Amino acid sequence: MEFGAKTLCALAIAGLVLGLSAAVHADSLTVKTAQGKAQGKTINGGKVKAFLGLPYAAPPVGDLRWKAPEPAASWKGVRDATHYGARCMQEPVFKDMIFQDSGPSEDCLYLNVFTPATATGSSKLPVMFWIHGGGYSAGSASEPRHNGDFLPTKGVVLVTINYRLGVFGFLATADLAREARGAAGNYGLLDMVAALGWVKANIAKFGGDPGNVTIFGESAGSFAVSTLMAARPAQGLFQKAIGESGGAFGHALSTGTLEATERKDGEWASALGAATVAELRAMPAEAILQAATKAGAPRFSTVVDGRLLTEPVAETYAQGKQAHIPLLAGWNRDENSSLAAGMTVEKWKAFAAEQFGDRAEEFLKLYPGETDEQAARSAIDYKSDSFIAFGTWKWIEAHRKTGDSPVYRYHFELAAPPSKFNPGWFAFHSDDIEYVFGTLDTRPGADWRPEDRKLSDEVMSYWTNFAHTGDPNGPGLPVWPKYGAERKLIHLDSPITAGESTVEPRYEFLLQGMPPEQY
């Protein structure tokens, strides 16, 4: 086949245009971080750019196990940033956790950046920094419900992170404290601070504004948000906070003293037969994890370590020394329904007498049980309160009193349709995550309704509006009042309504003392 000169010229121009287009596209997916260049990919039909598995700290292995995170090493060439990094070492704990990474590893300090496809280095978009839940013992940024396909379409840059968990993230012994000038534990929280430092140094290259960062998390992630607000090394690295079901003010995931934690963790470490920290670090990670998850092992969680935290979190808030930033926080209606199964009037009265003694009558006025149905509802309310809601409320109240900043409170109430991991109609613990991320379709077996999708879009707008301005309100949304002395809040239901809180009498009763609850 022969071509004329004009045809050949046209083909050459077309080829040049296609080549330039491909080069421009490739360039838009290549970002130069402080450690080196990274090549991402597009998701959600090209609407969002994703950069996955970026190291924000050195692998905490060998001599770096149980040490504060060190800076990530630089690399040459272009790093493939199209796959999630490994999740942190953990035993399967929660049945609803599904992962998209290659598996667990100590080499797990990676983060992911999701940004609008149109974002450039000069966009200065608000940054939303997600901390996953899992009781400080499980979870990963690679869970599908945390996918970044949709939040960035609301004009934000999303960052999701891994952090050290369980024994690897929170072991505190006297030997470790001596090695680190008196401080031990909280390595998982220190990882979060290191990741925030990485964001400050690098996020502008992805279109984000390092001076407008909102930290947000659910369950343990929400506990972490409340704790980071009190941690002096973290202050200044974020400007807003969102907490979903959790605050470091209750029995669940309580923060221990260093002395008591060193004693219990030290006894556990001694039982492994490792006489020194060096010998403990030389043990295989799998052997340590197996020993740490056996029955009778201590719970490895946060501690007043003397480095990140110099006093209990509640004391910092009481003195008004926490970060004075806008806060949006709340919890779900049915955080824990385990006590409701088979509940009757007689069982509920017996429970009240056993747990509260001479306060039982007052308890039953606040958590009534005149019928079996009412007793079951009160059982859900009490178990949800003692598990997570009471501590979250205390956090909100503490910041309202001393934080000198706007506070917005919510109650998530829309009961989700049954799914693989939720056989009943509940607004259960962690139910809100897919609504916040717009990832409803990642939940196995759920038959979503129009009201679910509408609420998800509204919640996404509230959350991203807050990231933009510190105020969740915006066009087309029901007005969300500020939470002040009058304790107004928003009910996230179908439809959304605003109202005043009615739970204070319950929580004032619980402030007088309640039986210890386990997470």
**145-163 as b/e, with b when 16 or more CB fall inside 10 Å?**
bbbbbbbbbbbbbbbbbbb
Q: Which amino acid is at 458?
A: E
SS3 253: coil
Beta strands in 256-406 (DSSP E): 256-257, 303-304, 327-332
Q: How many residues does the structure list for the chain?
A: 519
270 is catalytic: no
Contact 405, 399 (CB under 8 A): yes
Residue whose tokens read 């996230």: 492
Dist CA 506 CA 109 (whole Å): 41
Angle at 327 between CA 459 and CA 439, to 5 degrees: 25
Name the DSSP class of 286.
H
Q: Which amino acid is at 107?
A: D
458 is catalytic: no
Of 218, 244, 262, 335, the active-site residue reads: 335
Dist CA 317 CA 70 (whole Å): 29
146 is catalytic: no
Of 142, 219, 384, 430, the active-site residue reads: 219
Dist CA 368 CA 118 (whole Å): 54
Contact 498, 489 (CB under 8 A): yes
Of 146, 411, 429, 468, the active-site residue reads: 429
User: Read out DSSP for 39-101?
Assistant: E-EEETTTTEEEEEEEESS----GGGTTSPPPPPPP-SSEEE-SSPPPEES-----TT----S
Two structure tokens written together for 290: 């197996």
Just list the catalytic residues: 219, 335, 429
